[in-house]
């Protein structure tokens, strides 16, 4: 008995054992795998079922605060707002994507993230810089200690 594949509509002859088990709907494994799609609701349920203590990788809630904040929706919205305000253009050199040129842009905190937690999500404390310009700032990497001597005696918040 010949059947048509549900994915590619190619005609094929399934094995009798496949038909008895309820298989034999696809001509190949690749068609069977590529036809499996989960709805958004199902994806959300699967995601929620594996979060926190339910996940096999759970180690007792030890995600560093800094990592949690930088992955938060609030941080993503701050970053996007800074880019939109600056029209996706480096404010120092004017570099931007387009015309066959790719420029990596960073949303930079003018006053460092570690020393000014109250300004972390303030759009006025952000600016759009390309990577070469960002490296020239006084706050690139750990250079913020030089620019903000009042923070020198503080323990750097590893939030």
Cα-Cα-Cα-Cα dihedral of 33, 36, 42, 48, to 10°? 10
Whether residue 94 is found in the same domain as residue 117: yes
pLDDT of residue 60: 85
Whether residue 78 is found in the same domain as residue 143: yes
Mean of the pLDDT values across residues 44-73? Answer: 87
Mean of the pLDDT values across residues 132-136? Answer: 94
Whether residue 109 is found in the same domain as residue 49: no
14 Rama sector, left if φ>0, alpha if ψ -120 to 50, beta otherwise: beta
pLDDT by residue (tens digit) across 2-36?
Answer: 889 888 889 998 888 877 887 888 888 888 887 77
- How many structural domains comprise the chain? 2
> 92: domain range?
65-151
Q: Global pTM?
A: 0.56
Whether residue 138 is found in the same domain as residue 75: yes
pLDDT at 155 over 60: no
pLDDT by residue (tens digit) across 71-106?
Answer: 889 999 999 999 999 999 999 999 999 888 899 999
Whether residue 146 is found in the same domain as residue 69: yes
pLDDT by residue (tens digit) across 138-152?
Answer: 888 766 666 666 555
> Does some domain include residue 84?
yes
pLDDT of residue 1: 80
Distances (CA, A) of 41 to 32, 45, 53, 55: 22, 6, 21, 19
pLDDT bracket for residue 62 (50, 70, 90): confident
């Amino acid at each position: 008995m010949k059947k048509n594949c549900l994915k590619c509509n190619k005609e094929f002859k399934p094995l009798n054992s496949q038909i008895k088990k309820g298989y034999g709907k696809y001509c190949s494994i690749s068609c069977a795998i590529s036809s499996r799609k989960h709805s958004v609701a199902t994806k959300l349920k699967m995601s929620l079922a594996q979060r926190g203590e339910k996940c096999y990788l759970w180690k007792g809630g030890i995600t560093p605060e800094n990592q949690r904040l930088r992955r938060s929706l609030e941080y993503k919205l701050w970053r996007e707002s800074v880019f939109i305000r600056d029209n996706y253009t480096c404010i120092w050199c004017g570099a931007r994507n387009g015309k066959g040129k790719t420029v990596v842009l960073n949303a930079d905190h003018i006053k460092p993230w570690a020393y000014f937690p109250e300004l972390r999500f303030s759009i006025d404390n952000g600016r759009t810089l390309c990577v070469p310009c960002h490296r020239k700032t006084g706050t690139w990497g750990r250079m913020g200690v030089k620019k903000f001597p009042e923070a020198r005696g503080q323990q750097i918040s590893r939030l």
